[in-house]
Amino acid sequence: MAHEYFHNWTGNRVTCRDWFQLSLKEGLTVFRDQQFSADMNSAAVQRISNVRGLRASQFPEDAGPTAHPVRPDSYLEINNFYTATVYNKGAEVVRMYHTFLGAEGFRRGMDLYFARHDGQAVTCDDFRAAMADANDVDLLQFERWYSQAGTPVLRVSDSYDSETKIYTLTLTQACAPTPGQPVKAPFLMPVAMGLLTPAGAELPTRLVGEVAAHIGTRVLRLTEVRQSFLFVDVPEHPIPSLLRGFSAPVKLERDWTDAELAILAAHDSDPFARWEAGQTVLVRHLLAEADPANAAPGADLPETVAALIAATLAPFTGAPDGKADPAFAALCLALPGEAYLAELVTIVHPDRLHAARNALRVAIGRSFAAELRLIAERFTDTGPYQPTAAAAGRRALRNAALDLLCASGDPAALAQAATQARAAGNMTDRLAALTAIVDTDLPERAAILDAFRADFADDALVLDKWFTVQALSRRADTLAQVRALLDHPEYDGKNPNKVRALVGAFTSGNRAQFHALDGAGYAFLADQVIAIDGFNGKLAARLVAPLGPWKKFDPTRQALMRGALDRIRKVPGLSKDVTEIVEKALVA
């Protein structure tokens, strides 16, 4: 709602000169709705949620055959550019202006933009010019974020001289080739950072040549392929806190030690950096477990992960801690998604990634059963539903605890989830419980699903959720269930919302089942794309995306995915929408 309302100014009063400038309104308005949501709720939780979404949808797009700049330079069908790159990465580009210029500088830029262009149709360059002129800064290099596709990699190395007390931080940026862009020029990149002592205390920072030290987060201006920053008066070898607030849409690489990550996760003043340190611990474990060269994922919880989970739960299981944010803790308990993990490996083995992630969920649920049960009890609201940020945080943490307990097979938790799925007084709790139940073989599973459907038979949007929950089930028979749901009376194969809720959810969100080694998931998607293209080419084109990155998979899956794409391509009378996506995928 906020997004569409904000379009009154960014999209309507000031609009796009041509379709290539689509992100001028969509990226800017996504940034505005994100800022509004951060003000209304937990800013840290909102930012982390934004980044998780970016990594799950836009990073794969940037690495695939349909990669394109935020401001595309060509298209066959413009509907194919209503993408995560235009919207979500476009919002990150706008956020970088905000990071470079600060809140006041960004506001000056926005005021000048509206004053200059009210009632006009303009370009991304006009927006950049307003930001630069209002703050008297050179942003010419920043234009590359609009013209170059791909996700840059930011590599970090550092050293410390105990005699001179100088700490050197070296940043190197690189961006892999993308279709039509084999060589990339360096980006102008804001790197928000700070330094911590080995005990976790924040250090003031002073670069060589500066008169006074800077307190708190500072923003380094990276302009070259390789650039070193020298900090003086550093009393001991510090731990760098990097990319605070996710200050640039990049992949960060550094050889962190387990001890450094533990300090950052426990003490960093920036909540995103704390969360990211914990995610790095989890990613390391999951990728090691998913490596085909290693044994099958084990049931033991490694010490680094156990310490991380213990620290996350501690504020909520001991004496009440009014400072701890339950919503933030719930995000810390959420494991990295399989789509993001797939972006971090050269060859994707979806079954291994899924098995590793599921094994870790089970291990956490079993190892911390007592603490999770206590949280599930403490954070159960007995009064009337409250649509407040605080109440939402309590629900989020309780449902995260319940999900982990159910994953471990805890009988009491499964019984609680069954009751909650039937009788919870709000949709958040009912869907959370239904999601936990739908993965199981509980005898009452079918009855609970039927009861949910009956309760919301007159609410089409809630029924979309009902379809999606089943499409995302971890059960081995999910594709068969999805096929059966295609014939359900409540499903309309010509309704885009229903198609996205069932077919789109399965093919994009259920990676383990969609990528089953027998190729049944690929054949199913090809059948759906061909059928839907006959009456809605735009919708069909959106559905093709999961087949696009076929080169990232093992040879067996590559052949099956390419075969599905080729079968779609050979259909007579294929729409321009689908043709463009399929051709790009096949020639990539």
One-letter-per-residue 3-state SS of 456-477:
CCCCHHHHHHHHHHHHCCCCCC
Name residue, tokens 């010019």: 129
- Looking at residue 321, its pLDDT comes to 72
For the cut 70, the answer to whether the pLDDT of residue 76 exceeds it is: no
- Cα 326 from chain centre: 20
User: Around Cβ 261, how many Cβ atoms within 10 Å?
Assistant: 20
For the cut 80, the answer to whether the pLDDT of residue 299 exceeds it is: no
| Spatial CA neighbour of 52 closest among 274, 218, 370, 275 | 275
**Cβ 395 vs Cβ 330: under 8 Å:** no
What is d(CA 239, CA 223) in angstroms, rounded to the nearest whole number? 23
* 86, 170, 220, 244 from 224: Cα distances, Å: 25, 11, 12, 20
- Looking at residue 494, its pLDDT comes to 95
- By CB neighbour count within 10 A (0-12 exposed, 13-18 middle, 19+ buried), where does 133 fall? middle
What is d(CA 128, CA 138) in angstroms, rounded to the nearest whole number? 10
- Looking at residue 77, its pLDDT comes to 67
Beta-strand ranges (E) seen in 213-329 are 218-222, 226-231, 239-242, 251-253
Superfamily of domain 2-147 in CATH is Neutral Protease Domain 2 (1.10.390.10)
| Spatial CA neighbour of 333 closest among 281, 400, 391 | 400
The CA radius of gyration of the chain, in Å to the nearest whole number, is 25
For the cut 90, the answer to whether the pLDDT of residue 389 exceeds it is: no
For the cut 70, the answer to whether the pLDDT of residue 370 exceeds it is: yes
- Looking at residue 140, its pLDDT comes to 96
Superfamily of domain 256-408 in CATH is Peptidase M1, alanyl aminopeptidase, C-terminal domain (1.25.50.10)
For the full predicted model, state whether its pTM sits above 0.85: yes
List 155's β-bridge partners, or say none. Answer: 172, 253
Confidence of residue 43 (pLDDT cuts 50, 70, 90): very high
Helix boundaries (H) for 80-198: 84, 90-117, 124-135, 144-147
pLDDT single digits (tens) 195-251: 999 999 999 999 999 999 999 999 999 999 999 999 999 999 999 999 999 999 999
pLDDT single digits (tens) 406-432: 999 999 999 999 999 998 989 999 999
> Which residues 6+ apart lie within 8 Å of 439 measured at CB?
406, 407, 473, 474, 475
- Looking at residue 355, its pLDDT comes to 94
- Looking at residue 587, its pLDDT comes to 87
What is d(CA 525, CA 548) in angstroms, rounded to the nearest whole number? 12
- Looking at residue 459, its pLDDT comes to 96
- Looking at residue 71, its pLDDT comes to 95
Superfamily of domain 153-254 in CATH is Aminopeptidase N, middle-beta domain (2.60.40.1840)
Q: DSSP readout, 412-423? A: HHHHHHHHHHHH
For the cut 90, the answer to whether the pLDDT of residue 323 exceeds it is: no
456-588, CATH topology level: Zincin-like fold (1.25.50)
Any idea where the domains of the chain sit in the sequence? 2-147, 153-254, 256-408, 456-588
Percent of the chain with pLDDT over 90: 91
Conformation bin of residue 209: beta by default, left when phi > 0, alpha when psi is -120 to 50 = left
Confidence of residue 82 (pLDDT cuts 50, 70, 90): confident
What is d(CA 351, CA 359) in angstroms, rounded to the nearest whole number? 12
Measure the CA angle with vertex 336, ends 330 and 341; round to 5°: 175
Give the distance between the most distant pair of CA atoms in the chain: 76
In the residue annotation, 4 being an active-site residue is answered as yes
Indicate the SS3 state at residue 185.
coil
Structure tokens at 96: 């970088």
Do 256-408 and 456-588 share a fold?
yes
* 376, 441, 562 from 588: Cα distances, Å: 48, 42, 11
Structure tokens at 448: 């609970």
What is d(CA 398, CA 392) in angstroms, rounded to the nearest whole number? 10
pLDDT single digits (tens) 238-297: 999 999 999 999 999 999 999 999 999 999 999 999 999 999 999 999 999 999 988 877
What is d(CA 91, CA 57) in angstroms, rounded to the nearest whole number? 14
| Averaged pLDDT of the chain | 95
pLDDT single digits (tens) 457-516: 999 999 999 999 999 999 999 999 999 999 999 999 999 999 999 999 999 999 999 999
